[in-house]
């Protein structure tokens, strides 16, 4: 009886592995996509994963390998020799995936794997890709593509395309180059189908082509593909020669990785860490901003100690200290998060900084008036004095306005200094606003108590 996809679960796979039911396991994997198989392998032990993996055909095994979580894949590859990695995995991967895989290995194992690759052209392609930064267009591109010469006839073009297509998993576009390999345009498959065999490519190709340079940032690549609704993008060198192509799936993976990094930075982590990393690696990633927050708390305590006499005279002021600090931090994080988003998708330009600042000031004034009005109403009935009511209301208004400006300015300044502005939305903004908010609270309190008492 054929097994249904909905009946497949981790326990079923584990029991089949334990009982050495190879035929049943083959039936299971035939019902699953590579991404689904990878999810199950992520949860299996190393021995169980290797057993299941050996049942897959080489092409499917390569696809499953690239779908594994990065930390799982690293541990999985450590159990194979460099020769096995080269022959079993690399030979069945596109050049971009193969380069990503080899980049995860240590330097020694990386060189050994390259030496064990039988196809020397493939080894050279992978070595070329490893030169580029992982977050650049060159680091995202694959070397497999179809190109034709602008001077060819259709019959020659079709013959050459058949040869080249063997190495390309999916054909999105046919690129047209001149005798110097410079990209000059695109050729649609439709135009080839309806053209005469003796027609020249120069009369058929589309000259309007969007491309990127190999050293352009991955963020720029993603924005270009989003702007022009592209599924594939050619990559050229400094001389305009075609050297690769970037497909939409690689860009989606890149965007996901960048989003995860930004999320970790906003959470106060200085490096990309996974739950499966070693204890010391996780500690290193978290400790820096925890120490920064610690010193920020110490500075905040010093601010409070400087106003010890004021607190002893008016102890009721201490009731609202957490509120002032929390509101300042929340408003600052909201403002900075909005700016970081705008910088990431390039909706904020150099000429749009001042209007953005003014908009945040306006939003801060409105939010401040609403929140301070609610607090004034509350404190009017429950606070022991009018001085305290006015202090907390005016202080909250001031802190919200300041936090809006500060939360807007800091990521813009960091971006100008070529520092990732995602840092601004984490502990830095929160801690800074806590300190400054408390300082403003006590300063305003001293002034208000002088007026109303």
Classify strands 174-177 and 242-247 as parallel, antiparallel or unpaired: unpaired
Three-class SS of 379-406: HHHHCCCHHHHHHHHHHHHHHHHHHHHH
pLDDT of residue 351: 53
What is the three-class DSSP state of 318?
A: helix
pLDDT of residue 61: 86
pTM of the model: 0.74
Instruction: List the domains of the chain with CATH numbers.
Output: 5-135 (1.25.60.10), 147-247 (3.10.580.10), 279-452 (1.10.357.20)
pLDDT of residue 261: 76
Question: Residue 409 has which token pair?
Answer: 């300015």
What is the three-class DSSP state of 54?
A: coil
Q: Residue 241's beta-bridge partner residues?
A: 182
Residue appearing with tokens 């990695």: 85
pLDDT of residue 281: 73
Please answer whether residues 421 and 415 qualify as being in contact, where contact means their C-beta atoms are separated by less than 8 angstroms.
yes
pLDDT of residue 275: 62
Residue appearing with tokens 């064990």: 116
pLDDT of residue 286: 78
pLDDT of residue 188: 87
Up-side HSE of residue 435: CA atoms within 13 Å toward CB?
A: 18
User: Going along 128-274, which residue ranges are E strands?
Assistant: 147-149, 174-177, 183-187, 212-213, 232-236, 242-247
pLDDT digits (tens, 9 = 90+) for 275-284: 666 777 777 7
Return averaged pLDDT per consecutive 10 residues of the chain, 453 residues in all. Answer: 74 90 88 89 88 86 86 84 86 88 88 89 91 92 93 92 82 91 92 90 92 93 91 94 93 84 70 68 78 87 88 86 89 85 70 74 92 89 82 92 88 80 73 88 87 71
pLDDT of residue 336: 84
């Amino acid at each position: 009886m054929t097994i249904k996809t909905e009946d497949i679960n981790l326990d079923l796979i584990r029991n089949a592995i334990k009982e050495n039911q190879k035929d049943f396991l083959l039936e299971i994997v035939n019902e699953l996509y590579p991404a689904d198989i990878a999810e199950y392998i992520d949860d299996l032990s190393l021995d169980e994963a290797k057993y299941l993996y050996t049942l897959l055909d080489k092409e499917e095994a390569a696809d499953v390998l690239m779908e594994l979580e990065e930390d799982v894949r690293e541990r999985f590859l450590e159990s194979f020799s460099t020769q096995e990695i080269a022959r079993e995995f690399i030979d069945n991967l596109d050049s971009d995936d193969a380069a990503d895989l080899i980049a995860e290995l240590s330097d020694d194992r990386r060189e050994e794997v390259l030496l064990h690759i039988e196809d020397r052209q493939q080894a050279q392609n992978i070595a070329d890709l490893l030169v580029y930064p992982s977050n650049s267009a060159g680091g995202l591109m694959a070397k497999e593509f179809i190109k034709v010469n602008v001077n060819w006839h259709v019959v020659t073009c079709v013959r050459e395309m058949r040869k080249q297509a063997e190495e390309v998993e999916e054909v999105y576009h046919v690129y047209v180059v001149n005798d110097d390999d410079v990209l000059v345009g695109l050729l649609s498959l439709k135009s080839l189908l309806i053209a005469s065999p003796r027609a020249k490519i120069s009369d058929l190709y589309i000259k309007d082509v969007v491309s990127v340079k190999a050293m352009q940032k991955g963020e720029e690549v993603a924005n270009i593909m989003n702007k022009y609704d592209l599924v594939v993008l050619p990559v050229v060198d400094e001389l305009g020669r075609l050297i690769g192509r970037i497909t939409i799936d690689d860009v989606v993976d890149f965007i996901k990785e960048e989003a995860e990094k930004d999320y970790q930075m906003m959470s106060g982590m200085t490096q990309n860490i996974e739950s499966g990393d070693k204890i010391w690696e996780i500690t290193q990633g978290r400790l820096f901003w925890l120490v920064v927050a610690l010193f920020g708390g110490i500075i905040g305590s010093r601010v409070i100690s400087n106003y010890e006499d004021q607190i002893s005279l008016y102890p009721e002021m201490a009731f609202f200290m957490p509120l002032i600090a929390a509101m300042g931090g929340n408003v600052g994080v909201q403002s900075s998060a909005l700016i970081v988003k705008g910088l990431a998708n390039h909706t904020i330009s150099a000429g749009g900084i001042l209007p953005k600042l003014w908009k945040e000031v306006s939003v801060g004034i409105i939010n401040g008036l609403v929140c301070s009005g609610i607090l004034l109403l509350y404190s009017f009935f429950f606070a022991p004095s009018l001085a305290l009511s006015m202090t907390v209301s005016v202080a909250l208004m001031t802190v919200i306005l300041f936090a809006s400006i500060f939360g807007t300015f800091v990521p813009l300044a960091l971006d100008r200094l070529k520092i990732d502005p995602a840092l601004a939305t984490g502990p830095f903004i929160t801690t800074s606003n806590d300190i400054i908010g408390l300082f403003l609270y006590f300063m305003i309190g001293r002034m208000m108590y002088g007026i109303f008492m």
